[in-house]
Amino acid sequence: MNPIEIAVFAKAPVAGAAKTRLIPRLGAQRAADLHGALVEHCVGVASAAGLGPVTLWCAPDASHPFLADCARRHGAGLAAQCAGDLGARMLGAFAARSPLLLMGADCPSIGAPDLRACAQALADGADAVFLPAEDGGYGLVGASRALPALFADMRWGVDSVMEETRKRLRQHGLAWREGRTIWDVDRAEDYERLVAQNVLGALWRDP
């Protein structure tokens, strides 16, 4: 299997701008700190998969010192996400680097074996590969090339994203594979699950 790059999409861990839905549970600074721990974990997993280069794609830009330090610690590259909605930003990454696996930094349930299985799906000829999420979206998308049909004019953040994506894949005659269903960390109940399963290990301790 040829090397394949992994992109990790992440916001800067700025208090009040990161993990905002967890602010009532954690407070603004702790929510931002949690986001930083999630980014650290996901970049570490991507590096440990041993599939190829890892790049941390940052928003709103790559200037936050934490992001540069995280990339350096894991031997990863650093890039700024382009402007636009989530679909435009993801398409920008695929246009710059394809084939590519792209994962969100708020999906700590994704492990190195998941990444290797997704890479193998592309190597076996799939146009795209996904790890569906329990909330109806997906936590990872991989593609052999930039596929604008999957990202343009999508209503993001709703529970129909993966089903709408499947519809578009069928309409455009694209072959795709799906791995196991994963979960992300957005709501208080997700946070409690994260803590109960000790997913982040030494990176995070609930007081």
Q: What pLDDT shows up at residue 66?
A: 96
Reported confidence tier of residue 1, pLDDT bands at 50, 70, 90: confident
Decide if 187 is inside a domain. Answer: yes
- Check which CATH number belongs to the domain holding 98 and give it: 3.90.550.10
| Mean pLDDT of the region 88-113 | 96
- Name the average pLDDT for the chain: 96
Q: Report in angstroms the alpha-carbon separations of 46 from 4, 99, 198.
A: 11, 15, 19
| Mean pLDDT of the region 11-21 | 95
Decide if 118 is inside a domain. Answer: yes
Decide if 145 is inside a domain. Answer: yes
Decide if 194 is inside a domain. Answer: yes
- d(C-alpha 61, C-alpha 113), whole Å: 30
| Mean pLDDT of the region 71-79 | 96
Span of 50-54, 60-64, 109-113 with lowest mean pLDDT: 60-64
Tokens linked to 74: 């894991």
Domain coverage including residue 186: 5-198
Decide if 206 is inside a domain. Answer: no
Pairing type for strands 138-143 and 100-104 reads: antiparallel
Number of domains in the chain: 1
Decide if 144 is inside a domain. Answer: yes
Q: What pLDDT shows up at residue 207?
A: 80
Residue range 162-173, pLDDT digits in tens = 999 999 999 999
Neighbours of 129 (CB within 10 A): 25
Q: Is the dihedral of CA 13, 85, 104, 192 positive or negative?
A: positive
